[in-house]
Amino acid sequence: MKIVQLVQGSPEWVEYRLKMRNASESAAVLGVSPWCTPYQLWLLKTGRAVTKTTQAMQHGTDMEPAARTAYEAQTGNIMQPLVVQDGLYSASLDGITLDEDLILEIKCPVRGANSKLWEALEAGKVPEHYLIQVQHQLMVSAATKAHLWVFAGVRGRLHVVDRDQALMESIRAAWETFQSFRDTDTPPPLSEADTVQRDDPGWQTAAQAFADAKRSADQADASLVTARDALVKLAVHPREQGAGVTVTRYWKAGNVDYRRVPALSGVDLSSYRGKGREEVRVTTTQ
């Protein structure tokens, strides 16, 4: 195990991680991450996308020092955050003991004790994607066991994770497969959760034409709303007409909220639906 002198969260640490096979990414290369597909990770690793910090990620970062302190108070273990490396594999540890036999992984879910993770640990189970992350950390650090500490603000729940050599071999095999996509600059197979990134000339031309037309249409819609509001303010009678424009006032019955109909409570309405159809939605991201 090699110790890497980097501060977790620093720009240098972020740049370092782009080149490495990181513990938090192993679930993605194995195709079981709930947040990142192999294709999405490939986009990040090849510089085609950037990592965005979510509210949950920031919450975890903010709560980590307090969570570590609570863990140390409960267990008596003193844990040092550390970035470690073994060849191409890296792990940013939330803590490791001085004799390097025990590592710590901290999770601070936003919902605390009401989170699915807390409930899973109460049942004695670790979600697969977290188990893969911890096994990767054990693999890189060579520690004998890990403590998964889930912190809910005032209390925590501890789960012991032992080394799983078979899972470690699966992690290494998955990374080797993923590396072939990086080496050939070829995207991994796509899943339904993926959004394909296009930069070819044909797409760019059509996309620019749509964006320009959408912008013009939005401006026209805004002008239309302004002109309509001016007419409505001028109209007093239920029906008024002039200069080729008619303003009509009428009552329209509200829609029925079928969820509030007592007789339909618990009734499966799927058999009453019309035939399904594919729809296409085109939006702009700028």
Instruction: Summarize pLDDT for 208-225 with one digit per residue, the tens.
Output: 999 999 999 999 999 999
Band (51; pLDDT cuts 50, 70, 90): confident
Q: In the predicted model, is pLDDT for residue 63 greater than 70? A: yes
Note whether 208 and 137 are same-domain residues. no
Mean pLDDT, the chain, rounded, equals 94
CATH number (domain holding residue 146): 3.90.320.10
Q: 39-47 — which CB contacts under 8 Å span 24+ positions?
A: 39/187, 39/188, 39/189, 39/190, 39/191, 39/194, 40/194, 41/178, 42/178, 42/181, 42/182, 42/187, 42/188, 43/187, 43/197, 44/18, 45/18, 45/182, 46/182, 46/185, 47/18
Q: In the predicted model, is pLDDT for residue 92 greater than 80? A: yes
In whole angstroms, give the CA distance from residue 94 to residue 259. Answer: 47
Q: Which domain holds residue 9?
A: 2-183
Note whether 120 and 59 are same-domain residues. yes
Band (286; pLDDT cuts 50, 70, 90): low
**Domain-located, residue 268:** yes
Q: In the predicted model, is pLDDT for residue 95 greater than 70? A: yes
Note whether 171 and 262 are same-domain residues. no
Note whether 140 and 36 are same-domain residues. yes
- pTM: predicted TM-score of the whole model, two decimal places: 0.78
Note whether 229 and 174 are same-domain residues. no
**Domain-located, residue 193:** no
**Domain-located, residue 137:** yes
**Domain-located, residue 132:** yes
**Domain-located, residue 277:** no
pLDDT tens-digit profile of 12-28? 999 999 999 999 999 99
Contact 40, 49 (CB under 8 A): yes
Note whether 51 and 143 are same-domain residues. yes
| H or E, element range at 145 | strand 145-151
DSSP readout, 73-101?
A: HHH------EEEEETTEEEEESEE-TTSS
Q: How many domains does the chain have?
A: 2
How far from 54 is each of 57, 61, 112, 119, 264, CA to CA, in Å? 5, 11, 17, 22, 39
Question: What SS3 state is found at 172?
Answer: helix
Per-residue pLDDT averaged across 154-158, rounded? 93
pLDDT value at residue 70: 97
Residue closest to 96 by CA, chosen among 130, 71, 62, 59: 71
